[in-house]
Structure 1
Amino acid sequence: MQLEKYAEKLRALGVVLALLTLTVLLVGCYWWPESGDWDKTIRLVTCISLLCLLGQLFKERLRLLAPTFLLFLLLWCVLMLNSILTESYSSVRQLLLILFFTWMVMLLGGKEGRGWVAVLMVSALAPACFAGISLVNKMLVGEFDTSYRGMYIHDSGIPGVAEFGITIEAGLHYAFALVISVWLLLRSRKPAHSALWSACVVVLLVYLYFTFARSAWVAGLLASAVLVVTMTEGRRRRQIGLVAVLVTCAVVVVGFEQVIYEFGDRGLTDRDEVWAAVFERIGENWWFGHGSHTELGKVALTNGAIVSNPHSLYLEALYQFGLVGLAALLLAMGACIWTLRKPASDLGRLWLSILSASSVLMLVEMHFFVDAPNVVWLWLWLPMAGALAVTTQPKVAAISR
């Protein structure tokens, strides 16, 4: 009896640490104490949390036989074997962390318990506050430019606070927060809650617009559209659809030239040259790639720019892990999306929306496929882990209430 009591306390500690890990992942990327190490904190707390939850993992071991998890495990094994054979030991460490993180998220359960909702609320509110602070500070220092492509915002103007270096990084982080805010808004039943999440959506949309990161725009709006389709019905869906159509028409009428430029004239912004270089440099390593963390090298574009990443997570997977690795990735993602097509919970709908948008986003953006916590974790590893939590949930009871 005493042993069961201690086991229950250990499990509760593991849940708290797991929720803390998710909070650090989702919010710590905006600001973290200079004396600390953000990614090392995630690694440490993830490992401690999983140690506390090992007993629960053993009890729920049947979840590891679910088809979706087996396909994820196939992907993980392909990546791990490649990393070992190419002696990329940093990738081995990152893959172990990804596996531990996935197990941890799975053990939190696939239903929107209070723990999950609390973490997601913080991960929507905090970025909205950082976005608001960034916009206001830009105004105060005279750097806020409302002209078209006059301001490529990617920082707050305050050293060490919400600094992302490039617009696409900032855009994808805030687009992720936008999706969570839309999810919370659609779940709201009280006017005060609806007003709060609506305000977050507006602030995040304004910041996202001024990044002028097209990929982030598309990812955020596509995921939000999936949420509207899957979480609403009847009159509410028609009302939201009507508003979306009116806003789209207004944007096209007011900014017709800009819309044509963004999605017509700009085209692929020379990505096709980078992609051609990937296919050229893969050489005879089509099946298994060049190995994890192998860099593409510098690619000189016709416009004079020099780039060194494939500008497509799919092509990075192909270059580093070959057709075998790419096929395993597509199978794992496809299985998660397919099994979530009729999710039983709102949390499942959230992961479905992010993975659906990510499947498009990865065609033209993101790199560092197997790496320390980064934006790929937000758009791939976290939603995939969440999808596994949902799709294996019916066989067991969730431990996060």
Structure 2
Amino acid sequence: MTRSVFTRYTVLVLMIGFTVHLTGLLFITDGSTYTTISNLSLFLPALLLCIVDARLRQSLMQKRYWPVLLMLAFSLLIALLNPGSSTSAFSQFKTVLYVTLYLGTVHILVREGLLEKSLTFAFAVAGLFAIAGLVIHFVQQDQNIFFTGGRLYNLGYGDYANFRNPIIAALYYGFFGIYGFHLLLTKPCGTWLRVFYMACVAGLSLYLFCTLSRAVWLGYGLAICTSVVFQHTPRTRKWLYLTGALFLVAVAWLWPVIVDQQSRGFSLRDLIWAGWLSRIEEFWLFGAGAGSNFDICVLETQCYNQVHNLFLQFFYEFGVVGAALLLLAVIHVFICAVDRKTWINPIGSAGFPLLIFGIVTAMFDYHTVFNRPGVYWIVFWLPIGIILSQRFLPGPASCKEAVDAH
């Protein structure tokens, strides 16, 4: 009985910690404070639950997690054996442990029916911050944010919601915009709540536009289209028509800015990728080592320390075997995501469009998922955790698993 009470209390702390992890990026202005809070309220409770909850340990060891765990284990092996690694084996072990605990957190919150509550609350907070950011920049600071070509990445008030990079801001707000759109299509709710959700999605979408992060635009559009295709029902048709009409109005209004973005081309990414390819013989077999920077200068003036592509950077650090394991893990999760047998839990169907968003943006906008927990983890590991945590019905599908019942 004592253990049961302890488990319930720890799960409650874990839910609070995970919610703070999602929303704290907006209102916790010090990175060290954010990390400390995440360690105490998220990763420590997750570790305790992994120790005392046998069902959680068994779930994380089931076959559907194997490709991800294999990829994580290989990254640790490279950090240990490759002398070129900038990340020590101990640091990589901590990262691998944190990722495993993160996946375990998602699993147990799904099992307890708490993840949807946490995500929905975070979506509402993110939507309100996005709306506030647009208003502050447009009104208080007298900026014509939609047509000046400036890129938003902060709230505009103090250091709150300051992502310090428009791409990171776009990834964060885009993630919750997709989740909010999924709510509109799948959750029956009252008129006023639906209007509130629509306002939040509109605010998130407009803020995303103002970041001028074109690859995130692409990932956002593909994820929204995925939701539309897979959730198109007679009940949602009127909302889809309304969304389509609003989208056409927005495109017509903002068309000059959209056309102007063509002049930016690939923002030197094509030259960076060509440089990566020209040096592939240096690292293709064993990799340059865990945490190694890909240092390159293009046009003799622009220098970078990463490839601006998660898959190419992973290839660079961990070699062809590491890249193959990453692809295997992503393909495995993708196959599980498209299997409608995994959509028993309402949160299950949200994983697929969020995964699409994470994969598309990984090819252009972020290069690592082994950094400190933050936006990249939300965009990449959270959809993977959602998908792998779902129950699987009996059947011939490749991802069929028997999962512990409540």
The alignment's TM-score, normalised by the length of structure 1, stands at: 0.88
Question: For residue 278 of structure 1, what is the amino acid of its counterpart?
Answer: W
CA distance in 2 between counterparts of 1:119 and 1:191 reads 22
RMSD of aligned alpha carbons: 2.5
The counterpart of 2:14, out of the listed 18, 27, 32, is 18
Is residue 2:162 matched to residue 1:154? no
Is residue 2:338 matched to residue 1:330? no
Following superposition, the deviation at residue 84 of structure 1 comes to 2.0
Following superposition, the deviation at residue 247 of structure 1 comes to 4.5
Residues 258-297 of structure 1: pairs in structure 2 closer than 5 A: 258-262=257-261, 264-297=262-295
Identity of aligned residues (%): 23
Following superposition, the deviation at residue 50 of structure 1 comes to 2.4
Hey, what does 2:403 align to over in structure 1?
395
Name the SS for the 1:292 alignment partner.
coil
Q: For structure 1, which segment, 287-296 or 36-45, has the greater mean C-alpha deviation from structure 2 after superposition?
A: 36-45
Name the SS for the 2:117 alignment partner.
helix
**1:110 touches 1:347 (CA, 8 Å); kept in 2?**
no
CA distance in 2 between counterparts of 1:11 and 1:110 reads 13
Hey, what does 2:384 align to over in structure 1?
384
CA change 1:92–1:226 in 2 (3 A) is same
Residues 352-391 of structure 1: pairs in structure 2 closer than 5 A: 352-391=352-391
CA distance in 1 between counterparts of 2:297 and 2:188 reads 48
CA change 1:33–1:148 in 2 (3 A) is closer
Q: For structure 1, which segment, 214-223 or 321-330, has the greater mean C-alpha deviation from structure 2 after superposition?
A: 214-223
CA distance in 2 between counterparts of 1:45 and 1:256 reads 45
Question: For residue 193 of structure 2, what is the amino acid of its counterpart?
Answer: H
Question: For residue 322 of structure 1, what is the amino acid of its counterpart?
Answer: G
Name the SS for the 1:38 alignment partner.
helix
**2:46 touches 2:104 (CA, 8 Å); kept in 1?**
yes
Following superposition, the deviation at residue 369 of structure 1 comes to 2.7
Is residue 2:58 matched to residue 1:58? no
CA distance in 1 between counterparts of 2:382 and 2:251 reads 34
Task: Name stretches of at least 5 consecutive residues in structure 1 with no aligned partner.
Answer: none
Is residue 2:168 matched to residue 1:169? yes
CA distance in 2 between counterparts of 1:350 and 1:281 reads 39
Question: For residue 201 of structure 2, what is the amino acid of its counterpart?
Answer: V
Q: For structure 1, which segment, 78-87 or 332-341, has the greater mean C-alpha deviation from structure 2 after superposition?
A: 78-87
Hey, what does 2:131 align to over in structure 1?
132
Residues 67-216 of structure 1: pairs in structure 2 closer than 5 A: 67-86=63-82, 88-89=87-88, 90-109=91-110, 113=113, 115-186=114-185, 187-216=187-216
**1:152 touches 1:167 (CA, 8 Å); kept in 2?**
yes
Hey, what does 1:319 align to over in structure 2?
316
**2:73 touches 2:96 (CA, 8 Å); kept in 1?**
no
CA distance in 1 between counterparts of 2:24 and 2:251 reads 37
Name the SS for the 1:234 alignment partner.
coil
**2:138 touches 2:145 (CA, 8 Å); kept in 1?**
no
CA distance in 1 between counterparts of 2:16 and 2:254 reads 43
The alignment's TM-score, normalised by the length of structure 2, stands at: 0.87
Following superposition, the deviation at residue 394 of structure 1 comes to 4.6
Question: For residue 379 of structure 2, what is the amino acid of its counterpart?
Answer: W
CA distance in 2 between counterparts of 1:235 and 1:51 reads 42
Q: For structure 1, which segment, 389-398 or 356-365, has the greater mean C-alpha deviation from structure 2 after superposition?
A: 389-398
Hey, what does 1:49 align to over in structure 2?
45
CA distance in 1 between counterparts of 2:102 and 2:260 reads 41
Question: For residue 358 of structure 2, what is the amino acid of its counterpart?
Answer: S
**2:154 touches 2:160 (CA, 8 Å); kept in 1?**
yes
CA change 1:60–1:32 in 2 (3 A) is closer
CA distance in 2 between counterparts of 1:253 and 1:203 reads 18
Deviations 1:89-120 (A, max 9, x none): 32221121111221222122358x2x223211
Name the SS for the 1:109 alignment partner.
helix
CA distance in 2 between counterparts of 1:181 and 1:350 reads 10
CA distance in 1 between counterparts of 2:369 and 2:31 reads 27
CA distance in 1 between counterparts of 2:245 and 2:195 reads 21
Name the SS for the 1:306 alignment partner.
strand
CA distance in 2 between counterparts of 1:243 and 1:133 reads 24
Task: Name stretches of at least 5 consecutive residues in structure 2 with no aligned partner.
Answer: 393-400
Hey, what does 2:220 align to over in structure 1?
220
